[in-house]
């Protein structure tokens, strides 16, 4: 068996095409494009790359996006004040604050300051609470990207055994709740899980998000399973690999996301999709 490759780039292109049409309709109805504000106070190189990627996609789908770069030593009160101003800005429908933040700034303060109506990356306690209760909510973009891949690949979830490796607040935990809402039977594994391979081999759908290069090998995968690799790891010799050993797992799985080219290309697209949703709301 050779796995069907779940092409995140192709899916991302489909979503961007859909968003271009939706934004055109929005502009006809509302007279202006949806607005996105990206706030970067980290001074981190990776954040700058991430911000530019979001801006490129925003330009492609005609969302009005801007980057607000604040000095790394910005006081907490100043950042909070700026976020509250953006909450009241009628031209801004979505707000993203780049992570990681400088040590003197609290992620909780940021999450509590962003209006739930504009929290398009699902970081606030309000968004998390709504997700827990099964109410409409903005979702963490990486977790949303995984669900989008499963939906567009027509992966059956109801009644199936799904195993998630990783319990982060932005991937593992929200995914578990989303999958439960789709009537999957969900197991979440983590660093204290014993006999991990015995559990992953039971998975009809296996999702891996731990940040350990190639830790999932063919022997840990049920034949025919759908495997979603969220991990991105830099190799010492250059290039990136996922948390799944692609070459060996490809010969066992029924469907598999590559790294690069799988979940990653959809993550930023989902931010823009949720920004447009926020604008309509």
Q: Looking at the chain, which residues constitute the CATH 3.40.50.10860 domain(s)?
A: 30-121
What's the CA gap between 64 and 242, in Å, rounded? Answer: 32
Q: Tokens representing 247?
A: 């070459």
Q: What is the mean pLDDT of residues 63-77?
A: 95
CATH of domain 30-121: 3.40.50.10860
Q: Looking at the chain, which residues constitute the CATH 3.40.50.720 domain(s)?
A: 141-264
Q: How far is C-alpha 22 from the geometric centre of its chain's CA atoms?
A: 21
Q: Tokens representing 265?
A: 């290309």
Q: Is the peptide bond before 100 cis (omega within 30 degrees of 0)?
A: yes
pLDDT tens, position by position, 249-269: 999 999 999 999 999 999 999
Residues 6+ apart with CB under 8 A from 13: none
pLDDT of residue 274: 97
pLDDT of residue 50: 87
What single DSSP character describes residue 61? H
Quickly list DSSP for 248-262.
HHTTT-SEE--SSSS
pLDDT tens, position by position, 149-185: 999 999 999 999 999 999 999 999 999 999 999 999 9
Q: Is 3 helix (H, G, I), strand (E, B) or coil?
A: coil
Q: Is the pLDDT of residue 44 over 70?
A: no
This model's pTM is above 0.75: yes
pLDDT tens, position by position, 201-250: 999 999 999 999 999 999 999 999 999 999 999 888 888 999 999 999 99
Mean pLDDT, the chain, integer: 95
Q: Is the pLDDT of residue 43 over 80?
A: no
What superfamily would CATH give domain 141-264? NAD(P)-binding Rossmann-like Domain (3.40.50.720)
Contact 148, 270 (CB under 8 A): yes
């Amino acid at each position: 068996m050779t796995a069907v490759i779940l092409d995140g780039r192709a899916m991302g292109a489909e979503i961007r095409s859909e968003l271009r049409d939706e934004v055109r309709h929005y502009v006809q109805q509302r007279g202006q494009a949806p607005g996105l504000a990206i706030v970067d106070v980290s001074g981190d190189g990776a954040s700058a790359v991430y911000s530019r990627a979001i801006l490129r996609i925003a330009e492609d789908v005609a969302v009005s996006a801007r980057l607000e770069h604040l000095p790394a030593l910005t006081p907490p009160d100043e950042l909070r004040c700026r976020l509250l101003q953006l909450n009241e800005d009628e031209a801004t429908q979505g707000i993203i604050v780049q992570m990681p933040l400088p040590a003197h700034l609290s992620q909780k303060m940021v999450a509590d300051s962003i209006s739930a109506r504009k929290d398009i990356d699902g970081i606030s306690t309000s968004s998390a609470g709504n997700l827990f209760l099964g109410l409409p909510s903005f979702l963490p973009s990486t977790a949303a990207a995984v669900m989008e891949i499963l939906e567009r690949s027509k992966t059956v979830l109801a009644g199936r055994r799904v195993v998630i490796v990783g319990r982060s607040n932005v991937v593992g935990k929200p995914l578990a709740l989303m999958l439960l809402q789709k009537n999957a039977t969900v197991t979440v594994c983590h660093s204290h899980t014993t006999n991990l391979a015995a559990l992953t081999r039971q998975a009809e759908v296996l999702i891996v998000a731990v940040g350990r290069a190639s830790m999932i090998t063919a022997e840990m995968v049920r034949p025919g399973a759908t495997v979603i690799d969220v991990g991105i790891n830099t190799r010492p010799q250059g290039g990136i690999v996922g948390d799944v050993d692609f070459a060996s797992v490809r010969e066992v799985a029924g469907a598999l996301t590559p790294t690069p080219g799988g979940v990653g290309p959809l993550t930023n697209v989902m931010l823009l999709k949720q920004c447009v949703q926020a604008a309509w709301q």
